[in-house]
Amino acid sequence: MQIDKKTALPASVAPVSPEVRRENELRAGDIFPFRTWKSLPSFSTVILNLSLSAGTLVVSAGGLLLTLGVFLPISILKTLGGYVGGLSGRQRVISLSGDVRRRCVVITGASSGIGAALVLEYAGPDTHIVLIARDDGRLKDIAAQAQRQGATTAVHSIDLFEPANTVKLRQLLQEVEAETDGIDIAIACASVTGHRADVLDEDVEHVPPLGDSSQADGAQPDEIADRGDVWGATTASRMLQVNVAANQEFILGTWELMKTRSLRDKSASRPSPKIIVLSSSTAFFTPASFALYAASKAYLYSLARSLQIASVPYGISVITVTPGFMETGLTATMAKVGATFPTAILGDPRKLARKIRRSEEKDELVVFYPVSQVWSLYALRGLNPLMETFGMWAGAASGVAAWFFS
């Protein structure tokens, strides 16, 4: 099992082979969107984009004034007044029998990286944690660490690459809901990119499973997969099965269970249930080469933000998390296949886990970390379509997400 030296967390690293990289390699000049006279924008297109930029300025100015004039004073009052209209601190969880019980926290992608950090952040004498991921060995290792911190745990090895397992995931959630007197916190953390051998590959059966020693303990990329698929439909189906289909099943499945419980029992003694969705800062702006991953994270961001409003009548809190580049197996895999991001900017998943927990306890809506990374990508949402196209090309041309589409 590979361990990240900096964070001491398990890391799932499975880069594609050099052959697959060459097969899918992009060249900046070949993908430049304005390389011919015909592809240059017309006068009317430029005028439209100028008007869109002007509109963005107006809307941004209005949002700035409203935030300064309304929400800033309210936030100051809330801070000084000890959270006006609310209760600071964690509530004790009461079972149906009236006894104090452990909070039930369910986490997908719990075997490595951010998911593993969240398990250890929430682990304590008052918590029962359900860990879900594909690698049974890493799950048991993280569960053992959580138990040493006083938590009780349940480990479930589910391969979310398999479409049939979405049904298994829903059944598991229903069982956990019944056995634990209700899920208190559900965290959707499972995620993959197209830089992995088990995503960008035409025959997944010859790829060692995640956690296999042949890929985890110092294996080189060309030892992991000797052939692969051209980026396209196969890549999309495998990546989106995990990032969208499985996450959607988990998020909406737990949401329905929490909603049903809320309608059945409106007890004020129990804290509101919470769903935490790990999206990504790529949902705001992305290199063109990060196409499928960014699209999947944009879906999760939009779903979670909408659920925040839809959940108000049922007392369900939904928190959206948008991490930047983190010190995880995901970025380690990207680095092995040539991604050019500086390692100095990588965020610490343990610090993110701590920030998520604190934000969840305060019912914050969105979590940004590292702030400097996410701030810049969020600001780029203000680009007009012409400049957005140029920016997406520039991001791909920089190699920050490696030199092939993923």
Q: Look at residue 77 and tell me if it is in a domain.
A: yes
SS3 content of the chain, % helix, strand, coil (to 5): 50, 10, 35
**Rounded distance between C-alpha atoms, residue 224 and residue 221, angstroms:** 5
Q: Look at residue 137 and tell me if it is in a domain.
A: yes
> Does 221 share its domain with 334?
yes
The sign of the torsion formed by the CA atoms of 378, 296, 170, 203 equals negative
> Does 220 share its domain with 266?
yes
Using DSSP's 3-state secondary structure scheme, residue 201 falls into coil
**Rounded distance between C-alpha atoms, residue 170 and residue 172, angstroms:** 5
For 177-204, write each residue's pLDDT tens digit. 999 989 999 999 999 988 888 786 545 4
Q: What is the pLDDT of residue 197?
A: 80
Q: Calculate Rg over the CA atoms of the chain.
A: 22
> Does 66 share its domain with 198?
no
> 12, 211 in Cβ contact below 8 A?
yes
Q: How many CB atoms neighbour CB 372 within 10 A?
A: 11
Give me the number of domains the chain comprises.
Answer: 2
Q: What is the pLDDT of residue 381?
A: 95
Q: Look at residue 5 and tell me if it is in a domain.
A: no
Tokens 């009780």, residue located: 152
**Rounded distance between C-alpha atoms, residue 95 and residue 32, angstroms:** 60
Q: Look at residue 261 and tell me if it is in a domain.
A: yes
Q: What is the pLDDT of residue 210?
A: 35
Q: Look at residue 7 and tell me if it is in a domain.
A: no
> Does 82 share its domain with 173?
no
* pTM of structure: 0.88
> Does 301 share its domain with 334?
yes
> Does 27 share its domain with 59?
no
Expressed as residue numbers, the domain containing 82 is 42-86
List the Cα angle 167/128/163 in 5-degree steps: 15
**Rounded distance between C-alpha atoms, residue 151 and residue 39, angstroms:** 59
- The DSSP 8-state label assigned to residue 299 in this structure reads H
Report long-range pairs for 165-172 (Cβ below 8 Å, ≥24 apart): 165/246, 166/245, 166/246, 166/249, 169/132, 169/246, 169/249, 169/250, 169/253, 170/249, 170/253, 172/132
**Rounded distance between C-alpha atoms, residue 217 and residue 237, angstroms:** 28
Q: Look at residue 384 and tell me if it is in a domain.
A: yes
> Does 187 share its domain with 73?
no
Q: How many CB atoms neighbour CB 80 within 10 A?
A: 9
Q: What is the mean pLDDT of each run of 10 residues along the chain (406 residues)?
A: 70 79 85 95 98 98 97 91 52 51 93 95 96 94 96 95 93 95 96 83 43 33 44 83 96 97 78 95 94 95 98 96 93 88 90 96 94 94 97 94 84
Residue 134's nearest CA partner among 114, 116, 115, 161 is 161
> Does 131 share its domain with 202?
yes
Q: Look at residue 31 and tell me if it is in a domain.
A: yes
Using DSSP's 3-state secondary structure scheme, residue 277 falls into strand
> Does 216 share its domain with 347?
yes
Edge-to-edge strand list for the sheet holding 103-108: 152-157, 127-133, 103-108, 185-188, 274-278, 317-323, 366-369
> Does 214 share its domain with 325?
yes
Asked which of 27, 52, 86 is the last residue of a domain, the reply is 86
Q: Look at residue 405 and tell me if it is in a domain.
A: no
Amino acid at 73: P
The sign of the torsion formed by the CA atoms of 129, 134, 139, 140 equals positive
- The DSSP 8-state label assigned to residue 42 in this structure reads P
- H or E segment to which residue 222 belongs: helix 221-224
> Does 256 share its domain with 305?
yes
Q: What is the pLDDT of residue 222?
A: 33
Q: For position 346, which CATH number holds?
A: 3.40.50.720
> Does 359 share its domain with 370?
yes
